């Protein structure tokens, strides 16, 4: 049987370590043994052990069970006389993705800013820069037309548009195409050319900032009106006799009103 892991020893800590000490130890050792920095053969295994140890000891419930029952109790399940309805009675399983733990710990910070060049100067490469791929760049924006009727632009409306985009899986390396619904609130009075941007909703990829998706309003042709800025033009066909003598023309507006417009006689 494999020897049980001592998560405190993995982080080079004693069992009386505080939460702050656990965080500092993981920060220091994860940077030291990250495979992008450490080229020793043991680095990947050590990096994974550090991630699992931090995953357990940084969580109060997991830590409490581990402190009381050890790794066997944590992973094998708490004995029934102690477990009761505790969900942890099913046992803990590490997700085996140390990079996920690393990225969640550092968030948006650049962890490699703590690495220094041989001359003592600080390295300022962005995360992923040590892979030799250079500075992370955002993909160019994706432009799409959004066709709206004059009624939509007069009253305002809510539009839901389904897009398909590539999303990264938990391993941080592979991706899957998934559908997503984007919701936009069209405001009354928007004009053709109005732009609605959804930031970073484009395809995801390693070392890539997803593109923004921008929808550009296009007006659908209307059977009765043509828009001119904030005015609507209506073309009425009038017999020559009525045009010469004058008449009234009925016009149904966008909001359903009926206007009776007098047409003066043409001299």
| Residues 36-52 pLDDT 10s | 888 899 999 999 999 99
Pick the CATH number of 137-219 from 2.40.50.100, 3.40.190.10, 3.40.50.150, 2.60.260.20: 2.60.260.20
Cα–Cα distance measured from residue 118 to residue 99, given in angstroms and rounded to the nearest whole number: 26
Q: What is the pLDDT of residue 267?
A: 41
Whether the predicted pLDDT of 117 surpasses 50: no
Return the minimum-mean-pLDDT range out of 15-19, 58-62, 117-121, 225-229: 117-121
C-alpha distances in Å from residue 39, one per residue of 25, 32, 45, 129, 264: 20, 10, 12, 16, 90
- 91 neighbors 74 (Cβ within 8 angstroms): yes
Going by pLDDT thresholds of 50, 70 and 90, the confidence category of residue 131 is very low
Cα distance between the two ends of the chain: 108
* pTM passes above 0.85: no
Banded pLDDT at 88 (limits 50, 70, 90) = very low
Q: Are 55 and 101 in contact (CB under 8 A)?
A: yes
Dist. CA 227–CA 261, nearest whole Å: 19
Q: What is the pLDDT of residue 236?
A: 84
- How does pLDDT run across 203-232, given as a tens digit for each residue? 887 777 888 999 999 999 888 888 888 888
CATH superfamily of 7-106: DnaJ domain (1.10.287.110)
The answer, yes or no, to whether residue 118 has pLDDT greater than 50, is no
How far apart are alpha carbons 2 and 11 in whole angstroms?
19
Q: Give the start-to-end residue ranges of the domains of the chain.
A: 7-106, 137-219, 236-263
pLDDT at position 112: 55
């Amino acid at each position: 049987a494999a020897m049980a892991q001592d998560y405190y020893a993995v982080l080079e800590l004693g069992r009386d370590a505080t939460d702050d000490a656990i965080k500092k130890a993981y920060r220091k050792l994860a940077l030291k043994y990250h495979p992008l920095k450490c080229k020793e053969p043991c680095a990947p295994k050590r990096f994974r052990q550090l991630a699992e140890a931090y995953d357990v000891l940084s969580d109060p419930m997991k830590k409490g069970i581990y402190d009381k029952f050890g790794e066997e109790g944590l992973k094998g399940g708490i004995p029934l006389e102690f477990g009761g309805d505790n969900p942890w009675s099913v046992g803990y399983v590490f997700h085996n993705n140390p990079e996920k733990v690393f990225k969640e710990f550092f968030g948006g910070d650049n962890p490699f800013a703590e690495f220094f060049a041989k001359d003592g100067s600080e390295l300022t490469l962005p995360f992923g820069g040590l892979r030799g791929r250079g500075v992370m760049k955002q993909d160019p924006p994706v432009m799409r037309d959004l066709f709206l009727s004059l009624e939509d632009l007069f009253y305002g409306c809510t539009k839901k548009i389904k897009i398909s985009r590539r999303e990264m899986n938990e391993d941080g390396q592979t991706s899957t195409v998934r559908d997503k619904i984007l919701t936009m609130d069209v405001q009354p009075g928007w004009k053709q050319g109005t732009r609605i941007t959804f930031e970073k909703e484009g395809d995801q990829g390693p070392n890539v900032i997803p593109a923004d998706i921008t929808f550009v309003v296009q007006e659908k042709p209307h059977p009765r009106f043509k828009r001119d800025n904030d005015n609507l033009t209506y073309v009425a066909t009038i017999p020559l006799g009525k045009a010469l003598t004058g008449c009234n023309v009925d016009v149904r507006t966008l909001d359903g009103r009926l206007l009776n417009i007098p047409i003066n006689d043409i001299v």
